[in-house]
Chains A and B, each alone.
Chain A
Amino acid sequence: MDALSLVPAADAIPAPWWLFEALLITALSAHFILINIVVGGSILAIGSRIASKRPRTVTFEVPGITSALALGINFGVAPLLFAQVLYGHLLYTSSILMAVWWILVIPVLIIAYYGAYVHTGGGGETLRAAALAVSVIALVYIAFIFVNNMTLMLHPRSWTAYFENRSGTILNLSDPTLIPRYIHFMVASVAVAGLYGALRAHRSGQAESGSAVRKGLRIFAFATIIQIAGGLWFLLSLPAETMRLFLGGNSLYTLVLALGVILTVASISFALRGRVIPATASLAAIVVLMVINRANLRSAFLGEFFRPADLRLEPQYGVMALFLLAVVGMACAVRRMIAMLPVSGEGRDGR
């Protein structure tokens, strides 16, 4: 069977493809940062409970984790929307193949979310620790399923498994890039959460924050060093011809990867030297570059059978303008709302 014949026909798009790609990358970057704070922060919080020498001493806690999750989910909706516009015909297919795992993400996410609320609530330490553990397991599951789906969608040759299993329980475990990719994302979340903790402590301006800042920077630096190794593993797990594109074969791909790596090294240096703001700035740039890198990898895999540029255009420029206006309008509204906050900036429950 010719697997490529299984690729469904795609629908027309209402604006140029590069607009959606740009929106996708922007929104996904925001999503990753927010979710990394939540996932990495939860992992660190539970890790610190396990590693702590004195029982019941919490050495690392991410502030505002529930609000970060709320916004992270919101910023997950946007890239999911744009991904469906450009790659929907692939994404729906892979989702269906793993339907049971995919739909379980929803109740599992609700569990993770409520777990986070129980964890930050007023219960006893055992309950809060248990809720955190449940949340971590749930989030780790969700990330794994997402990585499966996002890779399965790019490999129609794996879709023939459907003819042996139509119950929606297929996973992309035979893909050699799956595990390195997953680990790369999970370690990234720890790095981001560590730096976020450092940043929050730094901006709180409190006297005792110094050690928290240092701790956060150390976690960030250490995790990022592991990331370089993990990234290398990820790169090496790619098929040879794809890997070559990132090592000189394609100038854009290589440039983006190289910039990302250079900034990564720089960010480690900043972190080890206690320079929070430069570390944060470079991390933000790294995330964006890595999301572009990820998009390039997607293009490399899709190259042989699909390019978004080939999608038929049925323009809706008027509505597009309305949408962009709404984005700007809401940004202003959000700024106005934040401006209404009391000057001390400290709300209930340390949001």
Chain B
Amino acid sequence: MNYPAWETGFFSGGSLIALISVLHVYIAHFAVGGGMFIWLTDRKALLEGCAALDDYLREHNWFFLLLTMVFGGVSGVGIWFIIGLVSPAATSSLIHTFVFAWGVEWTFFLGEIIALLIYHYYFDTMKRHLRLKVAFLYFVFAWMSLLVVNGILSYMLTPGAWPESRAFWDGFLNPGFIPSTVFRSFVAFMFAGLFGFVTAVRMEEGEFRTRMMRYCTKWLLYPMTGLVLSGAWYLYAVPGEIRYTAFIINPEMDPYVRTVVIASILIFAGGLALSLRSGRAAQKAITAVLVLIGLSWMGGFEYVREISRKPYIIGGYMYSTSILVQDEERLNREGVLPNARWAKVRALTPDNIMEAGRELYRIQCYPCHTAGGVRNDIIPRTRSFTYLGMLSQLTGQGTVKPYMPRFVGTRAEKEALAAYIVSGLNGGALDARPEPTAVRPLADAAPPPFDPKNDDYVLLAWNDLGMHCVSDGDPWFVILPPANTLEALLIKRGSTPEVVTENVTISYAVEPGFERPSRHTRFWEFAGATFGKKPAPDTGLTGKGLAGDFTHNAETMSFVADGIPVLPYTDAGTFNPYPLFTVKAKDPSSGKVLATTRTVAPVSTEMGCRNCHGGPWRWKNISGIADDTARDILRKHDRARGTDLLARAEKGKPRLCQTCHADPALKAPGDGKRLSLSASVHGLHANYIPVKGADACGLCHPTHRTGATRCARGVHSSAGITCVNCHGGMGDHAISLLRAEEGKRSAASLTKHLRPEAVRAKTDIKPRKPWINEPDCLTCHVDFNKPAADPSAFNVWTAEAAELYRNRTDNTGSLRCVACHNSPHAEYPARNPYNARRDNIQPLQYGKMPYTIGANRSCEVCHREKKEDEVHHENMLRMVRRAVRQ
């Protein structure tokens, strides 16, 4: 922003720095180690009186001078040149902070040159002992040069106290300085041996050459122990947080670490090979290869060091984008463009969004990325994003994955940059997500008849959760299989009604058009891979089909039919997430039907991953996870977490997410190491989603008010209560889950950048386990009363599953709350988006009103008479205040 950006096109600026720097550093380390090599070899020649060694030295010196002084020296200046071109702000900071250190280094550079020139040109005419002194001085000057440069270089990664104190010595004598200097010294000695081969191999065949080769091997291999030990010292001098980000979180690091390890092994092997007696041709070939391997070792190591420093160019002070840490807050307020001297667009208007986006790209993305060039090409990394996805990426950038800097700028600038990357760079469209979907109304479903005078039974049936989501993307992964749960309760009517638990068969059957879900999904094809089970098509994992019997469960005090594999796809090709089930209670001995009712088994495949991850809807452009979407999800998971999910899926072996991630919903224990599925997904995405309130929930869950499902349809939603009132906003929701996982590896990094909304501090949010510790109705409905205005049930959790609304009973202990009030998210009087009355069949059947069973003192539904006592729960004998238009 302070400086213009040089557009290098195909090669990133970073690649150019790498090219010049790695070559320089490779040769410069040789220059330092070679200094000691020359000095000790000259001493050896003197002590042994060996003329052949003198000859060797003469040739070696020439090679040494030509390589290190010419190429090594000028390439060092080249580093200066290129960093000033690619990162002028950082270069300026280094120069102005450390000019006197550079000045000291310059004096050593001068001393090196003069010493080497003297040593080389007066080799044969100088007095021997003086010549040795000059050789020794050369080494001292060369090593001091390394020392000084390394002080500055190491400060960039481990600045120590410098970002706060800005004191020269805090920066120079930083925590990484001594360990890295020792490490590089060992590198230098090893390279002295490596390059020593180049001249040794040119010697005439014979005993002397073998001796020289073995001599060089010793130089190459002896320092290796020191290298490894000082390498470990260096590694642990780097703060743990930096190491974690660099080596665990950053996916870029692996190939370079591998390069260093493999190159080390090859160098070791090569050195040993060269110590063997063999022909000159073979040894020349091995030497040539070894020199190249040495270069890749150096390159690998320097890349490891450079990558470790991200997102900074100067740790804790300046980001790779040249934006200062201390300016971040101000720039977020004022905007980057008004502060960017060299931006063509200084003020963002509706007319210059793409232009502004381009300038922001130049400032914040260009320093590390190319667009269609070599290294870090941003096009494949962003091609799959929708506009919302790109906005999310920019929102979460630098939080969970701190190796990138955070986006800096106003919200409008972020939108401009997202628009530029999606449309300008990738040619994508800037559609709104989620796309509004029309809901095609369904015809009324008439409630079955009920004769209040003569009928003996009231049959109640309901779905347990209010919505069952199914991740319809089976070739790639499964989050939730088709597995709906219905429960039923049969009440024998009377003054004291009886809950019937035996001698009755209760059965269920789905409405026509839904009987063959296997026609519409590939779940059954992959159930073996994902669940390790192979149920017959249209049969669920529990063995239950689309028609069958309930089983009585004494614990839940109800009849349960779970694992019903109903899907929202009809044979007619329409989407209906509220299929009706007819429930019949029969006397098993006579076959007589005691009672009939109908209930909705809500099911949706509207998982909105594509809102950010791109791709179409899988099924008739309405719902389901498409192949492209799923691939993008797995690709990102693999890249972020080092998994191989995409490759496995492509081989026909998709996984169930809960194989690794614990989830009480599927009774999955997970692998013990990773976060629960809910904590992972919410924790990660809360850092990214740029939308607040219930709309954030609706991006993924089938609750969005313009989506195909709109499953928040109970009395609460009619009253204007949203997900947030009970569950908290996305950030708070994520924090509550992550707090229960404290101590696990990624919990800290996911929580770090989340900010609490409903409470003051993150530690004020009570930890909770998903599906177990949930909002409690009585938090707002104190004593079952009407709640206060703007109620919030957030942060007060049920202690255990038995306390959940859907599991609780009334004060008699025999009636489940949900039986009369209906499933969570669809509490009576519900308002189903496909047909207002569809979720209210039982109240309409038994009470001719859409309200809670027995509402408005209609006790006679079950009791055959009015009652005076509030037996079921306090304050139940009230008239319904909220009339809902049906």
Chain B residues contacting A316 (CB-CB under 8 Å) are: 100, 168
Complex contacts, A22 vs chain B, CB 8 Å: none
Give the residues from 1 to 46 in chain B that come closer than 8 angstroms, CB to CB, to chain A. Answer: 2-9, 16, 20
Q: Which residue of B lies closest to A23 (CB)?
A: B103
Whether, in the assembled complex, B109 has its beta carbon less than 8 Å from a beta carbon of chain A, the answer is: yes
A147 to chain B, nearest CB (A): 16
Q: Name the one of B74, B99, B117, B127 contacting A81, with C-beta atoms under 8 angstroms.
A: B99
List 9 interface pairs A-B (beta carbons < 8 Å), by A numbering: A14-B96, A14-B99, A81-B102, A95-B81, A99-B8, A113-B74, A166-B7, A323-B104, A347-B118
Q: Are A337 and B103 in contact (CB under 8 A)?
A: no
* B110 and A330 contact, CB distance less than 8 A: yes
Query: B106 and A78: CB pair below 8 A?
Result: yes
Task: Map CB proximity to A onto B113-136 as digits: 1 under 8 Å, 0 otherwise.
Answer: 111011011111111001001100
A326 contacts chain B at the CB level, 8 A cutoff: yes
* B92 and A341 contacting across the interface, CB-CB below 8 Å: no
The distance from the CB of B121 to the nearest CB of chain A, in whole angstroms, is: 4
| CB-based contact B118/A340 at 8 Å | yes
Within 8 Å of chain B (Cβ to Cβ): is A97?
A: yes
Is A77 a contact partner of B134 (Cβ separation < 8 A)? Answer: no
Task: Provide the A57-95 mask, 1 if CB < 8 A to any CB of B, else 0.
Answer: 000000000010011011011101110110011011101
* Pair B103/A70 contact, Cβ less than 8 Å: no
Chain A residues, CB < 8 A from B85: 92, 95-96, 99, 102-103, 168
The one of B3, B113, B137 in contact with A70, judged by C-beta atoms closer than 8 angstroms, is B113
Docked-complex contact A342 and B127, CB < 8 angstroms: yes
Q: Is the CB of B103 within 8 A of A71?
A: no
Chain B residues with CB under 8 A of A95: 81, 84-85, 88
Whether A305 is near chain B, meaning CB under 8 Å from some CB there, is no
Known contacts A333-B111, A340-B133; is A12 also within 8 Å of B96 by CB? Answer: yes
**Lowest 7 A-B CB distances belong to which pairs?**
A92-B88, A347-B121, A106-B78, A330-B107, A11-B96, A323-B100, A340-B130
User: Is A84 a contact of B109 with CB atoms below 8 Å?
Assistant: no
Report chain A residues within 8 Å CB of B102: 81
User: Complex Cα distance A80/B91, Å?
Assistant: 13
* Contact between B73 and A70, CB atoms less than 8 A apart: yes
Of B75, B92, B127, which contacts A89 at CB under 8 A?
Answer: B92
- Among residues of B, the one whose C-beta sits closest to the C-beta of A105 is B81
Q: How large is the interface on B (under 10, 10 to 19, 20 to 34, 35 or more residues)?
A: 35 or more
B7/A168 in contact, CB under 8 A: yes
- Asked if B9 and A167 make an inter-chain contact with CB atoms under 8 angstroms apart, the answer reads yes
Residue ID in chain A nearest B84 by CB atoms: A92
Complex Cα distance, B133 from A340, in Å, reads 9
B residues less than 8 Å from A12 (CB atoms): 96
Q: DSSP majority for the A interface?
A: helix
**Is there an interface contact between B125 and A346, defined as CB atoms closer than 8 Å?**
yes
Residues of A within 8 A of B873 (CB): none
Label chain B's interface by main secondary structure: helix
How far, in angstroms, from A89 to B5 measured CA to CA in the complex? 14
Beyond A92-B84, A329-B107, A330-B110, 18 extra complex contacts between A and B, CB < 8 Å: A12-B96, A15-B100, A73-B77, A74-B73, A78-B103, A80-B80, A84-B95, A91-B84, A97-B4, A167-B6, A319-B169, A327-B107, A334-B114, A337-B114, A342-B125, A342-B126, A351-B117, A351-B122
Find out whether the CB atom of B118 lies under 8 angstroms from the CB atom of A341: yes
Residues of A within 8 A of B20 (CB): 106
Interface stretch of the complex, out of A2-10, A219-227, A248-256: A2-10
Q: CB of A126 within 8 A of chain B?
A: no
Are the CB atoms of A9 and B2 closer together than 8 Å?
yes
Q: Distance (Å) between the CB of B25 and the closest chain A CB?
A: 15
Give complex CA distance A113, B20 in Å.
17
Interface pick from B63-71, B304-312, B731-739 = B63-71
- Interface assignment of A301: CB less than 8 Å from any CB of chain B: no
A92 touches B7 (CB 8 A): no
User: Given contacts A14-B100, A96-B88, is CB(A106)–CB(B75) below 8 Å?
Assistant: yes
Q: Say yes or no: A74 contacts B110, CB within 8 Å.
A: yes
Interface residues of A in 14-57 (CB under 8 A from B): 14-15, 20
Task: Determine whether the beta carbon of A337 is less than 8 Å from that of B118.
Answer: yes
- Choose among A74, A96, A338 the residue that contacts B4 (Cβ–Cβ < 8 A): A96
Q: What's the nearest-Cβ distance from chain A to residue B103, in Å?
A: 4
**Interface presence of A322 (CB below 8 A):** yes
Within the complex, what minimum Cβ distance (angstroms) separates A40 from chain B? 20
A308-334 contacts to B (CB < 8 Å): 314, 316, 318-320, 322-323, 326-327, 329-330, 333-334
* A interface residues, Cβ below 8 angstroms from B: 5-6, 8-9, 11-15, 20, 67, 70-71, 73-74, 76-78, 80-82, 84-85, 88-89, 91-93, 95-97, 99, 102-103, 105-106, 109-110, 113-114, 117, 159, 162-163, 166-168, 314, 316, 318-320, 322-323, 326-327, 329-330, 333-334, 337-338, 340-342, 344, 346-349, 351
Residue B637 at the chain A interface, CB threshold 8 Å: no
CA distance A96 to B91 in the complex (A): 13
Cβ of B784 under 8 Å from chain A: no
> Is B82 an interface residue, CB under 8 A from the partner?
yes
Find the A residue at minimum CB distance from B122.
A347
Q: Which of chain A's residues have a CB closer than 8 A to the CB of B5?
A: 96, 166
Q: Which residues of B contact A314 (CB under 8 A)?
A: 166
Q: Which B residues touch A333, using CB under 8 A? A: 111, 137
Which residues of A lie under 8 Å from residue B70 when comparing CB positions? 110, 113-114, 117
Interface string of B166-182 (1 = CB under 8 A from A): 10110000000000000
A103 engages B92 (CB within 8 Å): no
State whether the Cβ of B93 lies closer than 8 Å to any Cβ in chain A: yes
B139 close to chain A: CB less than 8 A? no
* Distance (whole angstroms) from the CB of B156 to the closest CB of chain A: 16
Given contacts A6-B342, A348-B122, A71 and B96 within 8 Å (CB-CB): no
Could you tell me the distance between the alpha carbons of A337 and B110 in the complex, rounded to whole angstroms?
A: 12
B333 at the interface (CB under 8 A from A): no
Chain B residues, CB < 8 A from A15: 100
A342 to chain B: which residues have CB within 8 Å? 122, 125-127
A326 pairs with B74, CB closer than 8 A = no
Cα distance A344–B7 when bound, in Å? 55
Contact between A74 and B74, CB atoms less than 8 A apart: no
> Considering the chains assembled together, what is the distance between the CA atoms of A330 and B80 in angstroms?
23
In the complex the two chains form, is B6's CB within 8 Å of A348's CB? Answer: no
Q: Once the chains are docked, how many angstroms separate the CA of A318 from the CA of B107? A: 17
List B residues 736-774 near A (Cβ within 8 Å).
Answer: none
Provide the residues of chain B in CB contact with A92, threshold 8 Å: 3, 84-85, 88, 91-92
B120: chain A residues at CB < 8 Å are: 348
Q: How far is the CA of A351 from the CA of B123 in the complex (A)?
A: 12
B96 touches A326 (CB 8 A): no
The one of A8, A322, A337 that contacts B2, using a Cβ cutoff of 8 Å:
A8
Residues of A within 8 A of B168 (CB): 14, 316, 318-319
Q: Known contacts A113-B70, A347-B125: does B92 contact A81 (CB below 8 Å)?
A: no
B533 CB-CB contact with A under 8 Å: no
A163 and B118 contact, Cβ closer than 8 Å, known pairs A70-B69, A103-B81, A113-B74: no
Contact yes or no, B123 A348, CB < 8 A: yes
- CB pair B100 A322 closer than 8 Å: yes
> How many angstroms from the CA of A178 to the CA of B842 in the assembled complex?
93
> CA separation between A323 and B108, bound complex, in Å?
11
B101 at the interface (CB under 8 A from A): yes
Contact A106 B107, beta carbon cutoff 8 Å: no
- Point out the residues of chain B lying under 8 angstroms from A319, CB to CB: 100-101, 168-169
Q: A326 touching B104 by the CB < 8 A rule?
A: yes
Given the complex of chains A and B, what is the CA–CA distance between A327 and B106 in angstroms? Answer: 9
Tell yes or no: B639 within 8 A of A by CB.
no
CA distance A326 to B8 in the complex (A): 39
- Report A-chain residues with C-beta under 8 Å of the C-beta of B123: 348
From A114, which residue of chain B is reached at the shortest CB distance?
B70
Whole-angstrom CA separation of A337 from B103 in the bound complex: 21
Closest Cβ–Cβ distance, residue B95 to chain A (whole Å)? 5
Interchain CA distance A109-B8 in the complex, whole Å = 21
Q: B344 at the A/B interface (Cβ < 8 Å)?
A: yes
B71 A110 Cβ-Cβ under 8 A: yes
The answer, yes or no, to whether B258 is at the interface (CB within 8 Å) is no
- Is B106 in contact with A77, judged by CB distance below 8 angstroms? yes
Q: Judge whether A320 and B73 touch: CB under 8 Å.
A: no
